[in-house]
Amino acid sequence: MYRIGEFSRICRVPVSALRYYSDLGLLPPETIDPDTGYRYYAVMQLPRLNRILALKDLGLSLDEIGATLSDELSAAELRGMLRLKQAEIGQLVTEEQARLSRVENRLRLIESERDMPDHEVVLKGIEAQRVLSIREVLTDPREVGVLIGDGYGALLPAGIIPVGPCFSIYHDQDFKPTDLDVEIAFPIADQVDPVPVTPGGRSFSQRVVPGGKAAVIIHEGPYDAIEESYAAIGGWIADNGLRIAGPVQEAYLVAPDDPGGPVTEIRFPVE
Amino acid sequence: MYRIGEFSRICRVPVSALRYYSDLGLLPPETIDPDTGYRYYAVMQLPRLNRILALKDLGLSLDEIGATLSDELSAAELRGMLRLKQAEIGQLVTEEQARLSRVENRLRLIESERDMPDHEVVLKGIEAQRVLSIREVLTDPREVGVLIGDGYGALLPAGIIPVGPCFSIYHDQDFKPTDLDVEIAFPIADQVDPVPVTPGGRSFSQRVVPGGKAAVIIHEGPYDAIEESYAAIGGWIADNGLRIAGPVQEAYLVAPDDPGGPVTEIRFPVE
DNA sequence: GCTTGACTCTCAAGTAGCTGGAGACCCCAT
DNA sequence: ATGGGGTCTCCAGCTACTTGAGAGTCAAGC
């Protein structure tokens, strides 16, 4: 019978951890002196402790280990949990590898430019959004503003209030300065029936823009400088080994007639 | 100016997190209504928020991010921190990959044996230990017991009390049933001078057994069944892609004359 | 029997980055 | 005035422990 300190030296587990396991009932000491409260451990508790450590190493929580050890958990359930852990760890590994390459890219950036970039690219999860949208092929990108105005001109009088800033979706596979296939989308909360028609005579279609992961960047200022932000986000996506998984979106967070100038969020769905 | 809920929808960061950042001073709202306490955010705070998210993604803590954003941290310091993170994440990745393969091995084990192994192999960190030891080539492994008795017979009368269970180190490269080069080591707290001589006429040498990582298993019961434990630990080491990095140790946790039989810990230094 | 030093006990708080809930207050539309 | 949804503050909880305070225990030496 060993006191906790000796036992700790034998099993190389900190005293505090042994006390913690004892309190949780995971590894109760062989005896506890009822007068002094001293915990006494026997060498034969090492196999149980090692089982705890091994299961912990496999990624089980102490709760799960407790259930396993007290046979509340069948071998089949354990197997299922391990499968789950396997998937989790696999995902963790790929995520951490991606993070590692982001750190490496950032280090390269710092060393080459010795400065932080103006605006950051970040990866975000985007939920699917129900929208009312107008899709049209435009000869000039500046017509987007007209479309937006036309859209709001139909929705607001009809009592339909978008639940977020409107955004455009550029359906062309590659960038074109003319004849762009663009969709202007207004997020709405619930299905609308019937769909309105704009003052300009355009009709809305109603659909759900799918969610997923997207690389986003905030572009501040006039649209004629937007290519810089596109270059930044495009470089970031390439550097981080991601693949563009859908048409770009531009969300118009602040309108161009605002005194501070427009603010736009560029979103590239990626995977 | 947006209230916290709208801003949360725009930046896709939970309200609770925004409030947390606000409390930490990382991203104070543009204004706070002094009467109601309502937080009001401006779109132009998105770049700062995105910088926070980007740095967080690189593995910096919120404290470090705060220092970076308020320019208490130079670019050089930031670079140093990122280098550190790079190393940390790299190590994390290799560790998680190792853990993943341990989970996979365990799954294979469960599927083949449909049962838990009797005793677990675990990986532990071992500190270096100062020992007094006797090294000898034995014709029969059973002489180990004699050596141990001889060792204690010298130490205890000399007032030297080992600070842990004694253990043997098998210096032979490969297993031999005879002519084993074995060292019996008694852990001690402080340097001893002069080194004693055993009743059997053997002399101790004093040295430090190096620490490091080791795969360990508890073997319970008589020594003639110890090959099973060796097989288990050997298989585990091979399965987990580790390499044996030093001579095996056997720690005698409970002596063979104990009514419950002996308990031995087998330790393979690995890397 | 006393002292000393090492050890042990319990209980509470701290860690990181939030999340969730309770109870109160606010805003806006009817 | 009312109702429903949003917001506020504060507090607890999450994981697996670690650290520390303050008090009690053990064994050896005098």
Tens of pLDDT along B99-158?
A: 999 999 888 888 887 666 778 999 999 989 999 999 999 998 888 999 999 998 888 888
- Both tokens assigned to A167: 């955004």
Is any Cβ of chain A less than 8 angstroms from the Cβ of B12?
A: yes
SS3 of residue A112 by DSSP: helix
C18 C1': nearest CA residue: B17
What is residue A30's predicted lDDT score, i.e. its pLDDT? Answer: 95
Nucleotides of D under 7 A from a protein CB: 6-9, 15-19, 24-26
Is any Cβ of chain A less than 8 angstroms from the Cβ of B108?
A: no
Q: Measured between CA atoms, how close is B237 to chain A, in angstroms?
A: 14
Is any Cβ of chain A less than 8 angstroms from the Cβ of B1?
A: no
Phi then psi for residue A71, to 5 deg, are 65, 20
Residue among B84, B218, B219, B253 with most chain A CBs within 10 A, to mutate: B218
pLDDT bin (cut points 50, 70, 90) of residue B178 is: confident
pLDDT digits (tens, 9 = 90+) for B64-101: 999 998 887 777 888 888 999 999 999 999 999 999 99
Query: In Å, what is the CA distance from B227 to each residue of A51, B27, B137, B235?
Result: 20, 62, 21, 12
pLDDT digits (tens, 9 = 90+) for A89-136: 999 999 999 999 999 988 888 888 766 677 899 999 998 999 999 999
Phi then psi for residue A28, to 5 deg, are -65, 140
* Distance from CA(B6) to C1'(C27), angstroms, rounded: 14
| Contact flag A123-B254 (C-beta cutoff 8 Å) | no
Residue A204, pLDDT > 80, answer yes
Mean pLDDT, residues B14-30 taken together: 95
Instruction: For residue A70, list chain B residues with Cβ-Cβ distance below 8 A.
Output: none
B111's CB contacts (< 8 A; 6+ apart) are A79
CA distance A163 to B17: 21
Instruction: For residue B47, list chain A residues with Cβ-Cβ distance below 8 A.
Output: 118-120, 218, 220
Nucleotide with C1' nearest the A13 CA = D17
Task: List helix spans (H) across chain A.
Answer: 4-11, 15-24, 46-57, 62-69, 75-113, 143-155, 226-239
pTM of the model: 0.85
pLDDT bin (cut points 50, 70, 90) of residue A140 is: confident
Size of interface A-B (CB pairs under 8 A): 155
A17's CB contacts (< 8 A; 6+ apart) are none
Mean pLDDT, residues B192-202 taken together: 82
Those of residues 165-204 in B touching chain A at CB distance below 8 A are 165
pLDDT digits (tens, 9 = 90+) for A17-40: 999 999 999 999 999 999 999 999
Decide: CB of B63 under 7 A of nucleic strand C: yes
Return the percentage of chain B with pLDDT > 70, whole number: 99
Is any Cβ of chain B less than 8 angstroms from the Cβ of A57?
A: yes
- Both tokens assigned to A7: 């036992």
Helix, strand, coil: what percent of chain A each, to 5? 40, 25, 35
What is residue A119's predicted lDDT score, i.e. its pLDDT? Answer: 87
